Amino acid sequence: MHKQGKLVIFSAPSGSGKTTIVKHLASTIPSLGYSISACTRPRRGRTEENGKDYYFMNKEEFEQKIRNEEFVEWEQVYSGAYYGTLKSEIQRIWDLDKHVIFDVDVVGGLRIKEFYGENALAIFVKVSSVDELRKRLLKRQTETDASLETRLAKAEYEMSFENRFDVVLLNEDLEATLEKATQIVKDFIGK
């Protein structure tokens, strides 16, 4: 008999602060286990580790797992670059007697919610405006002009899905947002 826990999904356009929120929750709520995504992109530098940052695999391996229906959600972000969530990863966390927390894009988040229904809480993290996102992404200094425009166009598209999430969390003041996120998650997993 496989164990089953709950799932807490955080989705947001790039630059909204979802990764910061998820890392905070995963490190402060002991009953949460962070879901590691699978991807086909190469590791960045020497710091990324297989099984810790991502499950790195080649395109053929990933496509075989798609055919075997091993993913709860997957996406081809651009030609040949796949990202996804393995069903075995969710089970791995449940087997540790933990609930799963996800940091996943908007479409992937909605797919996970659809798959697990009432057992999952889908939270959309938003900022006040696209201008605010632009400021945050510029502050990171990781974007070229072209990649910034691409991310902002994608962000505008992703913002249109906001009303399909269970909870919308406005991230203006990080401390207040972390407090609110902690309360929402504790209430949900305590149910």
pLDDT of residue 1: 58
Q: Whole-angstrom Cα distance, residue 145 to residue 149?
A: 6
pTM score, whole prediction: 0.90
Tokens (6 digits) for 160:
């249109």
Q: Which residue has the higher pLDDT, 176 or 80?
A: 176
Which residues have CB under 8 Å from 161's CB, separation 6+? Answer: 106, 107, 110, 124
pLDDT of residue 62: 97
pLDDT higher than threshold 70 for residue 115: yes
Tell me how far apart the 2 most distant CA atoms of the chain are, in Å.
Answer: 52
Mean pLDDT value across residues 91-114: 95
Q: What percent of the chain has pLDDT over 70?
A: 99
Query: What CATH code is assigned to 7-190?
Result: 3.40.50.300
pLDDT-wise least confident of 66-70, 85-89, 141-145:
141-145
- If pLDDT is split at 50, 70 and 90, which confidence band does 137 have? confident
Mean pLDDT value across residues 31-44: 93
Question: Which DSSP string do the residues of the chain spell out, in sequence order?
Answer: ------EEEEE--TTSSHHHHHHHHHHH-TTEEEPPPEE-SPPPTTT--BTTTBEE--HHHHHHHHHTT-EEEEEEEETTEEEEEEHHHHHHHHTTT-EEEEE--HHHHHHHHHHHGGGEEEEEEE-S-HHHHHHHHHHHT---HHHHHHHHHHHHHHHTTGGGSSEEEE-SSHHHHHHHHHHHHHHHHH-
- If pLDDT is split at 50, 70 and 90, which confidence band does 15 have? confident
pLDDT of residue 47: 86
pLDDT of residue 98: 97
Mean pLDDT value across residues 82-98: 96
pLDDT of residue 150: 83
Q: What percent of the chain has pLDDT over 90?
A: 70
Q: Whole-angstrom Cα distance, residue 91 to residue 89?
A: 5
Tens-digit pLDDT profile for residues 146-183: 888 888 888 888 999 999 999 999 999 999 999 999 99
